[in-house]
């Protein structure tokens, strides 16, 4: 006589909780062979796939569970967990809100909602949800860590530090809180402490690339560049697929070639830099990019309150403030959710998106009169894809205004600053294939770097 499905499911759950994923999956599969619409088996099998990194399969299974039993809040929380792993933050937010609507006193739902909101740059709302989770469950290190992330996104470093230390007091092996504490120390210029905290984070999670990156950056800022290079090489020997670390090493040594900075590197850099970005650029580096771009637009005939504008790589919105008078509708796009959070506070954008800029432009056709890229294409070496995508997204006669750091040689080059510089000849060689025409190209001082001016091209292109 075969074992009843309920007994199979009970044994599968025990194996699952014990970390025996293969054995658990076999039993979940047996349950579903008998009862294809069993919502608990569908949901839990989805979580097995999630734990293995199979997010698409996990999502499909959990959505099937929800179709059978739509009023189980835990199913919606698990769906949100899978969507968060895919960085589909808006859909994760929807799933969490469904869970909260079904059960308001559900701490995991509020905690996941905090993560989804923070991932969209909705920082104040994220703080509220993490706080709600902690009111419901005091001993909740994950929620304390997420509240710390929201504080750090608001430049509230001491509060962030307190949250991370509280999380670690509740769970000394909470690797994410330890890694975030190291980043906070670096953000506060407490570099020696950053080194110590990053080393502790690596002890907890030896394969976590972000902690090695924090350690390397702290060593670089302490002038210990050789030690940083040794750290990067050691990690890459064990994790050759870690592209962000490989790019970091390449910028210091020239040992590898990248046509563009990996998106994960750019997101990491600016997610951990957004809180001081404005002050560092404007006060410390005498940054003039937004003013140069907007002046070029005015010289090209851009009119007040008339244009559909996309500010790609908008960062914290420095350019958006100056673009607003020209815009009928102003959109900002950035890969960094924390940058978008800062931009949202300015209140100048009609819409803000956390997205990779080429992917964003490729799904928009003749949508904009103006596209601006201020100090963002310096993270691209090969510009063919972004120029083509911009041309597609521009209406006929639309303008693309951009800045690029100047390279006096041929083509483009990756600098030790982890930024590319480009020759004007290289740009001009790409225009015909991209269906763009040069309107103007002016050399200017973009910012100060140490004792040197960073020379740049301010370029205006038109799509005809």
pLDDT, residue 273, reads: 58
Distance CA 151, CA 401 (A): 34
The yes-or-no verdict on residue 383 having pLDDT over 90 is yes
Lookup: tokens for 421? 């510089």
For the chain, the residue count is: 464
**Per-residue model confidence (pLDDT) at position 339:** 85
Bridge-based pairing of strands 452-463 and 436-449 is antiparallel
Paired tokens of 39: 């919502």
Cβ atoms of 179 and 202 within 8 Å: the answer is no
CA distance 112 to 126: 9
The top-scoring range by mean pLDDT among 3-7, 62-66, 449-453 is: 62-66
- Right CATH for 276-463 from 3.30.70.2190, 1.10.3720.10, 3.40.50.150, 3.30.300.30: 3.40.50.150
In 268-316, where do the E strands start and end?
Answer: 307-312
Can you say whether residue 408 is alpha, beta or left, with left for phi > 0 and alpha for psi between -120 and 50 degrees?
alpha
Of 4, 63, 14, give the one whose Cα is nearest residue 39.
Answer: 63
Q: What is the mean pLDDT of the chain?
A: 92
| Segment 385-396 mean pLDDT | 97
Sorted by where each begins, the domain ranges of the chain are: 138-256, 276-463
For residues 42-70, b (16+ Cβ closer than 10 Å) or e, as one string? Answer: bbbbbbbbbeeeebebbbebbbbbbeeee
Task: Assess whether pLDDT exceeds 90 at residue 106.
Answer: yes
CATH topology of domain 138-256: 1.25.40
Question: What sign does the CA torsion over 105, 109, 111, 113 have?
Answer: negative
Taking phi first (over 0 means left), then psi (-120 to 50 degrees means alpha), and beta for anything else, what does residue 287 get? beta
| Distances in whole angstroms, Cα of residue 38 to Cα of each of 29, 43, 46, 65 | 11, 9, 12, 7
* The pLDDT of residue 428 is above 90: yes
Q: Which two tokens stand for residue 100?
A: 């909260």
pLDDT at res. 167: 98
**Sign for the pseudo-dihedral over CA of 88, 94, 98, 100:** positive
Which residue is associated with the tokens 């050759």?
A: 240
For the segment 399-416, the average pLDDT, to the nearest whole number, is 93
What's the pLDDT at 277? Answer: 47
Q: What is the pLDDT of residues 433-461, one digit of tens each?
A: 999 999 999 999 887 766 778 899 999 99
Query: Do 236 and 245 contact (CB within 8 A), yes or no?
Result: yes
CB 152 within 8 A of CB 177: no
| Cα 243 to Cα 257: distance, rounded to the nearest angstrom | 11
Beta bridge partners of 373: 402
Q: H-type helices in 36-174, by residue range?
A: 39-51, 55-68, 73-85, 89-102, 107-119, 123-136, 141-153, 157-170
- Give the C-alpha distances (Å, rounded to integers) separating 175 from 172, 178, 210, 338, 459: 8, 5, 11, 21, 45
Q: How far is CA 427 from CA 48, 102, 370, 403, 412, in A?
A: 48, 55, 19, 11, 9
**Helical H segments across 188-224, by residue range:** 191-204, 209-221
Q: What is the mean pLDDT of residues 227-253?
A: 88
Q: Do 310 and 370 meet the contact criterion of CB atoms below 8 Å apart?
A: yes
Longest distance between any two alpha carbons in the chain, whole Å: 84
**What CA–CA distance (Å, rounded) separates 454 from 411?**
18
Task: Identify the pLDDT of residue 392.
Answer: 97
d(CA 289, CA 280): 14
* Average pLDDT, integer, range 222-242: 90
């Amino acid at each position: 006589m075969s074992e009843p499905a309920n007994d199979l499911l009970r044994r599968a759950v025990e194996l699952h909780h014990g970390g025996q994923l293969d054995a658990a999956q076999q039993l979940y599969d047996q349950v579903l062979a008998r009862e294809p619409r069993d919502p608990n088996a569908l949901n839990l099998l989805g979580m097995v796939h999630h734990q293995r990194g199979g997010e698409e399969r996990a999502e499909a299974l959990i959505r099937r569970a929800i179709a059978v039993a739509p009023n189980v809040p835990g199913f919606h929380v698990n769906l949100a967990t899978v969507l968060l792993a895919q960085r589909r933050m808006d859909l994760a937010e929807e799933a969490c809100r469904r869970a909260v609507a079904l059960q308001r006193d559900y701490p995991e739902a509020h905690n996941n909602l905090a993560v989804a909101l923070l991932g969209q740059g909705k920082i104040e709302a994220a703080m509220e949800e993490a706080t709600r989770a902690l009111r419901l469950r005091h001993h909740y290190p994950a929620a304390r860590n997420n509240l710390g992330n929201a504080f750090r996104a608001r430049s509230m470093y001491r509060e962030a530090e307190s949250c991370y230390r509280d999380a670690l007091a509740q769970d000394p092996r909470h690797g994410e809180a330890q890694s975030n504490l190291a980043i906070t120390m670096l953000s506060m210029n407490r570099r020696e402490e950053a080194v110590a905290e990053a080393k502790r984070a690596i002890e907890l999670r030896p394969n976590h690339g972000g902690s090695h990156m924090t350690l390397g950056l702290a060593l670089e800022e302490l002038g210990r560049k050789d030690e940083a290079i040794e750290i990067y090489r050691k990690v890459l020997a064990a994790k050759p697929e870690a592209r962000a670390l490989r790019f970091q090493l390449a910028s210091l040594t020239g040992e590898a070639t990248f046509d563009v900075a990996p998106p994960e590197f750019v997101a990491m850099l600016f997610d951990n830099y957004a809180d001081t970005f404005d002050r560092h650029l404007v006060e410390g580096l005498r940054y003039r990019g937004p003013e140069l771009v907007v002046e070029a637009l005015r010289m090209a005939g851009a009119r007040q309150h008339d244009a559909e504008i996309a500010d790609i790589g908008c960062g914290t919105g420095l350019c958006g403030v100056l673009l607003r008078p020209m815009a009928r509708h102003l959109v900002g796009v950035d890969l960094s959710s924390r940058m978008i959070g800062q931009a949202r506070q300015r209140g100048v954008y009609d819409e803000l998106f956390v997205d990779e800029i080429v992917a964003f432009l490729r799904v928009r056709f003749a949508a904009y009169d103006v596209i601006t890229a201020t100090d963002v294409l310096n993270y691209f070496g090969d510009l063919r894809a972004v120029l083509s995508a911009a041309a597609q997204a521009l209406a006929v006669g639309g303008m693309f205004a951009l800045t690029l750091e100047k390279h006096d040689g041929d083509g483009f080059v990756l600098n030790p600053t982890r930024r590319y510089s480009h020759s004007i000849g290289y740009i001009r060689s790409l225009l015909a294939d991209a269906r763009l025409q040069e309107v103007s190209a002016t050399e200017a001082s973009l910012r100060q770097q140490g004792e040197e001016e960073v020379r740049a091209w301010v370029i205006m292109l038109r799509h005809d």
